[in-house]
Every structure is written in C-alpha cells, then in structure tokens.
Amino acid sequence: MAQHLSVITHPDQAIASALPLLQAGAVIAMPTETVYGLAADATNPQAITRIYETKGRPRFNPLICHVSDLAMAERYGRFDPLSRQLAEQFWPGPLTLVVPIKPGCGLHDLATAGLDTVGLRAPRGFASELIAAFGKPLAAPSANTSGRISPTTAAHVEEDLGGQIPLILDADAAAVGVESTILKVEDGQIRLLRPGGLSVEDIEAATGLTVIRPEKAGAIIEAPGMLASHYAPNAGVRLNATVVHPGEAAITFGSAAPEGLEKAVAVLNLSASGDLAEAAANLFSFMKQADASGAASIAFTAIPAHGLGEAINDRLERAAAPR
Ligand code: TXA
Ligand code: MG
C-alpha cells in the first residue's frame, strides 16, 4: 500500500515527502484540479519509463508535462503570441497547450514520445506548489491503469495503483473532474485536440476566435491518447437511454426520468439541477460506483453537448466504444 498524505492539512509535509522520491526518479500520485496524475520527473528517462510501466501504457503516447507557471513553461516550449495569450488567460487551470519543444531544454524524448512538440499545462493549487519546489516539469498522465476510468479521488488511485507506487498525495475530490482541454495553435488558428475541463465557449469568448474542432470520422489521431476505447468500466455502457433495462444501473442528468428507472440496480444523478460543471466533477466517480453495483451495463440519459457537456460526451463515447 502507498503512503497517504493530505495536502490540505499538511502541505509542507507533503512537499517534503514528495521531493526526495521525485528526485530519486520515483512515480507518485499528485492531485490536480482535473484528475489525479501519476507524476514523475519529465527529464529523467528511468522515471518516465516507470510511469509507462505503472499504467501499462503504450509508449507512443506522449505525456503532458506539468509546469508551475508560464515562466517555467517558456523554458521548455516555444510560445507563439496566441499560445502565450491562452496561457495568460487560462493558467493555472484545466488547459494543455501543445507547442514546439525548445531544443536542448532537457525534457526527455520518452515523455514526449519523440515528437517535436510538447503538451504543457500549469495546474491550479497544490500541484503548482509542488512543481515550483521541484524546479522542473512533472510528466503526469491520469493515475489509472491505461484504458480505465480516470481517478478523481486518492481512494480511486489507491484501489487501482496503490500497490505499485510509494506515495499518494490526497487533496480530496478533484474540482473539475475531467481531464484538461488540449489545444494546439497553428497558423494563428486554435485547434481542439481534446475537449476537457475548459469549455470551447470560454476559449472563444476570451479570444474572439473560432476553435477548430477535429473532424470526427476518419480523422488522424492527433493527440495520440485519443484512442477510441478508453475510460472503460467493467460494465457495458449505453448512451442516450430513454429506458432502463432490467439489471442495468442508471446515471441520469437533470430531471430525466427514463422508463424502468425504479427497477435500476443503482441510480445516480450527475446533477439534479442540470449543472454541467457539477456533472463533470461527478462523472468518473459515479461511473465507478455504478460499476461497483455489479450491473451488467450502465444506461446514461442524454447530456447536453454544450459547455463541459462536450468533454463529458467525449468521455462517454469512449467508454461506450467497442473494446
Ligand atoms: O487533466 C489532465 O490533462 C490530466 C492531469 C493529470 O493533468 N493529465 C492527462 O494526461 O490527462 P494524459 O497523459 O492521460 O493525456 C495526455 C494527452 C494524450 O491524449 C496525449 O496524446 C496528448 O495529451 N498529448 C501529449 N503531448 C502531446 C503532443 N505533443 N501533441 C499532441 N497530443 C499530445
Ligand atoms: Mg488518461
């Protein structure tokens, strides 16, 4: 079992315990506002290899490198004016920017899967203090076995990976609940590589620009982690359900009351008031609860596609994809 430390009640002790482990190339669980990350020194090849091994993740899949702030980010990535503007407007926060790597900056090829670009993100809160104390970027994918549901609590990390890592830093439930939005600026245009915890509407409002979404059918996978099946619970997943079948668990949104709901194995409402931010924060944890109910499948009622609904629907489509 991993050692647990609360970063809320003991932030200094958490940093003091984490630093020597990170310096020695270990992998630890770090809370961020999106999901818990499996963090290690982004400049140390052994440390990065441990991340891939712990997750069972394919190595062609590059990792997001987390920085304390824009100043640290600019030591590792080349920021065009629009990328810099996005960082200034939305960091710290649930936004990853893909930018060209500064040659010789020290980030290891294993972290970036040999690409000439890097995904950089400045998380909010404790993670940023930890990275500032470490003085270098931390590579951190979500702290779950590859393909499974991302963890939004320290307990989720313990269940999945507690036996494999020395330390889990605990900051209670992640506030945002879905991973960061990934953007890449090209030719003065903002391209969405992954919908996430920062809505496209917010980005468009702040910049006055239209965000270019990937074409769905037959698109080349540009964020290599965007494999079809992902976020998979053990149970099957059925979307846009208007009926709950016998033996199913139901995850609803707002006032939806699908037929057969009273016979569901478990019923969870992502947000009774229809708040998409609340729904995003509950999503992964409710998927795990519904899965634990032993239901053969989980029926989700429809969730609006706007705002954070875009990221929620993206994760649900992957959870429902053929495995
Ligand atoms: O919220 C988050 O982003 C969480 C927390 C821990 O910060 N991290 C996370 O990391 O979701 P991960 O490794 O599970 O997702 C990384 C995604 C993958 O889809 C990967 O392909 C993409 O980022 N990515 C990383 N570097 C990239 C690059 N240079 N170009 C395109 N996509 C990149
Ligand atoms: Mg992940």
Minimum-distance ligand 1 atom for the alpha carbon of 39 = 6
In a shared domain, residues 312 and 204:
no
Alpha carbon 296 to its chain centroid, in Å, reads 26
Q: Which residues of the chain have pLDDT under 50?
A: 217-220
In a shared domain, residues 35 and 158:
yes
Phi and psi angles of residue 230, each rounded to the nearest 5 degrees, phi first: -165, 165
Identify the CATH number of the domain in which residue 258 sits.
3.40.50.11030
- Supply the pLDDT for residue 218: 45
Q: What is the DSSP letter of 261?
A: G
- Cα 296 to middle of ligand 1, angstroms: 30
In a shared domain, residues 273 and 201:
no
- Supply the pLDDT for residue 214: 82
Total domains in the chain come to 2
d(CA 60, CA 318): 19
In a shared domain, residues 11 and 140:
yes
Summarised one tens digit per residue, pLDDT across range 15-63 is 999 999 999 999 999 999 999 999 999 999 999 999 999 999 877 789 9
Query: CB within 6 Å of ligand 1 — which residues?
Result: 32, 34-35, 37, 61-64, 96, 98, 112, 115, 117-119, 121, 123, 140-142, 179-180, 182, 193-194, 222-226
Tokens of 214: 């990937």
For 174, half-sphere exposure in the C-beta direction (CA atoms, 13 angstrom radius) is 38
- Cα 84 to middle of ligand 2, angstroms: 25
Residue 274, domain extent: 236-320
Note whether residue 220 is domain-resident: no
For the chain, the distance separating the N- and C-terminal CA atoms, rounded to the nearest angstrom, is 30
- Cα 141 to middle of ligand 1, angstroms: 6
Residue 207 burial (C-beta neighbours within 10 Å; 0-12, 13-18, 19+): middle
Q: What's the pTM?
A: 0.94
